[in-house]
Amino acid sequence: MFKTICALLGDPVNPMISMCALPVAGGVLACLSRGRSRGALRMAVALLFGAANLVFALSLYLGGGASGALALGVQGLELRLAVSGIAALMLPFAGLLFLIVAVYAASWFHKREGGGAYMLLLFISLGMLNGALMADNLGVLLFFWEGLLCTLFGLLLIGRRENSKAAVKALALSGTADLILMLGILATARLAGSASMSEIAARPLSADGPGALGCACMLLGAMGKAGAMPFHSWIPEAASDAPAPFLAAFPGSLEKIAGIYLATRIVTDLYEFAPGSPMSLFVMVAGAVTLFFGVAMALIQKDMRRLLSYHAISQVGYMLLGIGTGLPVGIAGGVFHMMNNALYKTGLFVAAGAIEDQTGTTDLHKLGGLRRAMPVTAACFFVCALSIAGVPGTNGFFSKELIFDAALESGTIFYVAALAGAFMTAASFLKLGGAAFFSEARLPQGRRNIREARLGILIPAVLLAALCVLFGAYNALPLQTLIGPALGDAHIHAGWPENGTLVLLSSAVLLLALADHVYGRKKGGGALAAADHIHYAPGIKQAYALAERGLLDPYNWLMAAANGFSAACAWIEGGVTWFYDKAVPGLVTGTGQTLRRFWNGSVSRYLIIAVAGVACICLIFLLAALGEVAP
> Residue 586 Cβ, how far from other proteins at the closest point, in Å?
12
323: DSSP letter: H
Q: Among residues 114 and 586, whose Cβ is nearest to other proteins?
A: 586
From 93-101, 176-184, 258-266, 623-631, give the range in contact with other proteins by CB under 8 A. Answer: 623-631
620 in contact with other proteins (CB under 8 A): yes
The dihedral of CA 130, 311, 268, 214: what is its sign? positive
Distance CA 344, CA 351 (A): 10
Provide the terminal-to-terminal Cα distance of the chain, rounded to the nearest Å. Answer: 90
Alpha-carbon separation of residue 466 from 34, 220, 232, 459, 570 (angstroms): 34, 34, 29, 10, 57
Single residue of 202, 537, 562, 629 touching other proteins by CB under 8 A? 629
The answer to whether the beta carbons of residues 252 and 281 sit under 8 Å apart is: no
Residue closer to other proteins, measured from CB, 74 or 603: 603
Give percent helix, percent strand, percent coil of the chain, each to the nearest 5.
Answer: 75, 5, 20
CB of 580 to other proteins, least distance (A): 12
Pairing of strands 66-74, 77-83: antiparallel
Angle between helices 455-473 and 395-410 (to 10 degrees): 50
Q: Does position 40 bind other proteins by CB under 8 A? A: no
Shortest CB 20 distance to other proteins, Å: 52
**Identity of the residue, 278 or 590, whose beta carbon is nearer to other proteins in the bound complex:** 590
Is residue 627 close enough to count as binding other proteins by CB under 8 A? no
Binds other proteins (CB under 8 A): choice among 34, 161, 451, 597: 597
Alpha helices in 227-369 (DSSP H): 234-241, 244-249, 255-265, 278-299, 304-325, 328-359
Site for other proteins in 600-619 (CB under 8 A): 600-614, 616-618
Picking from 403, 407, 372, 391, the residue whose alpha carbon sits closest to that of residue 468 is 391
The DSSP secondary structure of 414-465, one letter per residue, reads HHHHHHHHHHHHHHHHHHHHIIIIISPP-PPTT-----PPPHHHHHHHHHHH
Minimum CB separation of residue 575 from other proteins in Å reads 21
In the complex with other proteins, the residue whose CB is nearer, 163 or 593, is 593
Closer of 274 and 587 to other proteins (Cβ): 587
- Nearest distance in Å: CB 583, other proteins: 15
Residues touching other proteins, count (CB under 8 A): 36
- From residue 559 to residue 588, the character string flagging contacts with other proteins as x (rule: CB under 8 A) and all else as - is -----------------------------x
- Whose Cβ is closer to other proteins: residue 162's or residue 628's? 628
Q: How far apart are CA 312 and CA 227, in angstroms?
A: 8
Minimal CA–CA distance to 126: which of 205, 199, 24, 211?
24
- Least distance (Å) from other proteins to the CB of residue 579? 15
Q: Give whichever of 161 and 597 is closer to other proteins, judged by the CB atom.
A: 597
| Closer residue to other proteins in complex, CB, 112/596 | 596
Interface contacts to other proteins, rule CB under 8 A: 588-589, 591-593, 595-597, 599-614, 616-618, 620-625, 629-631
